[in-house]
Amino acid sequence: MRGMLDWLDNRTGYRALLQGVLYERIPGGARWRYIWGSTLVFAMVVQLITGVVLWSAYSANAQGAWESVWFIQNQMTGGWLLRGIHHYMAQVTIVLLVLHLMQVLIDGAYRAPREVNFWFGLVLLQLVLGLSLTGYLLPWDQKGYWATKVATSIASMTPVVGPGLQQLLVGGSEYGHLTLTRFFVLHAGILPAAVALLIVGHIYLFRRHGVTTPKSAREKPDGYFWPEQVLKDGVASLIVMATVLGLVLWSGGAHLGAPADPAEPYAAARPEWYFLFLFQWLKYFPAGWEVIGAQVIPGLVLALVAAMPIIGGWKYGHRFNVGVATALLAGIVMLTWQARVQDSADPEFVAAQAEAEVLAERSSELAAALSGIPVEGGLAMLRADPLTQGPRIFEANCSQCHRFEGHDGLGGQPADPPSASDLAGFGTRAWLAGLLDPERVATDEYFGGTEHVNGRMSRFVQRGVARFSPEVRSDLAKVIMAVSAEGSLPAQVEQDAVQQTEIEEGRALISGEEINCTRCHTFRDQTEGDVGPVLTGWGSRDWMLGMLHDPTEERFYGEDNDRMPSFGAEKILTEDEMGLVVDWLRGDWVRQDSQGH
């Protein structure tokens, strides 16, 4: 073995290289304050390794980015852990860089002859921030999409070249496939290569000039990089790794929002926490002056920091530099804290964030329930989901008159009171029982705000049903079962199957002498008049679609229709949109435990 190592040393000279690397003399001996550079290198190596593995499963296109990240997060073995490490290590890297720069400033390790190395560090900080910014978009979820759109709009503020610069970054006038590919090339190719070159140059210059030894350590004996400092660096790197793993396990991994939807603005769009100070800072600049806050002042501050090696050579220059750096850091912390506090007190932000979380969970639930994402992609999957889209369509087109559990479908309260029935649970036995309750039929839950409040149905319930004997009320319960069973509601299918005998009895009682629904309604070819809607198929998908399409048809309300628009006949809604509302009202949507409807 020794002979082989001698041969290898003869050909490569590796022993001299290791000797130079490991046995570098450290004036004053190894110290814990020297660990920051090594932990930074460790963090970036972890980012490189995890990034390459994530790259192997990632698809950088507008119809595959979110889908591939969902695959990594939910189906790839250890993918959630890998992505979580990559996500949180990126944030820890920012913290380590700031700590390292502050240590360099406090120790005076930026002054001659170390000016170039200090400038390398400043450029490295900007490159790492660039990596974070470009990586934010890659999952192609709502949060990343809209936050990146805000960030790139800052580039457009640049005088003269702004619009062209933004178009170069975006890859056109719209955010899409070309935006993703450009950001991915920056994130996985150009910026990492630049970071690697800077790190090599940084380490070379550090080795060339050596450690800046504090006065307190100059009287102590010298030490060596190996093993004393290596041990301290190793322990620090393990602590960094343990911290990141703790964050991943505590949070459950990196968050993945709903697929990016350019048609749905995201009111809770915010950059990552380390950019929040700039977001908050821009609030202090009126419209038209944002370029001052976004580029001019930050540019001047960066120029001042870059000039610190020169300023540090003046009398009191070092104290000035440390004071400026401390003030800047304190300002950044204060602005970040302000942004957090204001957001937590903003009802619109809180509501948008809650809705985004619901959409994120629903997207993942759909993908799991469907045993994978459809070929059309995650956004198409979400747009075809009644549970997601039904309430939105209801709020925009139905809530002016109707309510759903007392609200507009999305939890809001319209300014005007309801003027039509509450459609939560429509078609269920409970909904029908309320309609046939003398105490409730004329309330806002049912006919209270309509022209039918004094109509035949309302009078029948208030005068006739109110006088039913206990025996007839028992029959009425069976009639309710029978009419509700016409809808074949998913939530009642099993119950209907168990109570089929009672349902058959109820069907016979519909035209019975006491209850006699067929006096006004048609039910399976039994009728004495066509005053009210047909009860055959009442509450079924086809019946409800027909009602939405044109409620003035004879099988529904005919000439007695009270203000309800013909959503289909008048082309207010498409067939797909009506289907989404109907399926939502019927509770007919994909559930994770049902593998379908």
526, with CB counted inside 10 A (0-12, 13-18, 19+), is: middle
Strand partners, 223: 26
What is the pLDDT confidence band of residue 324, given thresholds at 50, 70 and 90?
very high
pLDDT of residue 1: 82
Which residues 6+ apart lie within 8 Å of 367 measured at CB? 70, 74, 373, 378, 381
d(CA 203, CA 220): 25
d(CA 244, CA 418): 52
Residues shown for the chain = 597
Instruction: Please write down the HEC assignment for all residues of 381-398.
Output: HHHCCHHHHHHHHHHHHC
What is the pLDDT confidence band of residue 357, given thresholds at 50, 70 and 90?
very high
pLDDT of residue 10: 81
CATH 1.20.810.10 domain residues, the chain:
26-256
Lowest mean pLDDT across 10-14, 405-409, 494-498: 10-14
pLDDT tens-place string over residues 486-516: 999 999 999 999 999 999 999 999 988 888 8
pLDDT of residue 187: 97
By C-alpha distance, which of 209, 25, 233, 13 is closest to 112?
209
Backbone angles phi, psi at 308, to 5 degrees: -60, -35
Lowest mean pLDDT across 19-23, 106-110, 307-311, 491-495: 19-23
Which residues 6+ apart lie within 8 Å of 226 measured at CB? 22, 23
pLDDT of residue 597: 39
390, with CB counted inside 10 A (0-12, 13-18, 19+), is: buried
d(CA 193, CA 182): 15
pLDDT tens-place string over residues 511-546: 888 888 988 899 987 766 667 899 999 999 999 999
pLDDT tens-place string over residues 14-23: 888 887 777 7
Q: State how beta strands 25-26 and 223-224 pair.
A: antiparallel
pLDDT of residue 366: 95
pLDDT tens-place string over residues 117-142: 999 999 999 999 999 999 999 999 99
* Most confident residue range from 9-13, 267-271, 370-374, 574-578: 574-578
Where helices occur in 470-539 by DSSP H, the ranges are: 470-485, 493-498, 500-509
The CA dihedral of 171, 176, 179, 185, to the nearest 10 degrees, is: -130
pLDDT of residue 218: 61
Q: How far is CA 99 from CA 36, 37, 92, 95, 306, in A?
A: 7, 10, 11, 6, 17
CATH of domain 26-256: 1.20.810.10
Sign of CA dihedral 276, 278, 281, 285: negative
Encoded tokens for 430: 């409970």
Where helices occur in 307-424 by DSSP H, the ranges are: 308-311, 317-344, 347-369, 378-383, 386-397
pLDDT tens-place string over residues 437-479: 999 999 999 999 888 888 889 999 999 999 999 999 999 999 9
Q: How far is CA 262 from CA 43, 67, 176, 179, in A?
A: 34, 17, 9, 13
Q: How far is CA 72 from CA 76, 131, 163, 371, 556, in A?
A: 5, 20, 35, 15, 50
Rg (CA), the chain: 34
Output the CA angle 356-359-361, nearest 5 degrees: 110
Lowest mean pLDDT across 150-164, 421-435, 491-505, 563-577: 150-164
Assess whether pLDDT exceeds 60 at residue 596: no
**Between 38 and 159, residue with greater pLDDT:** 38
Encoded tokens for 81: 């852990």
316, with CB counted inside 10 A (0-12, 13-18, 19+), is: exposed
Q: How far is CA 412 from CA 6, 206, 392, 455, in A?
A: 78, 60, 11, 31
Where helices occur in 65-78 by DSSP H, the ranges are: 65-74
Assess whether pLDDT exceeds 60 at residue 407: yes
Assess whether pLDDT exceeds 80 at residue 373: yes
pLDDT of residue 511: 86
Span 345-371, mean pLDDT?
93
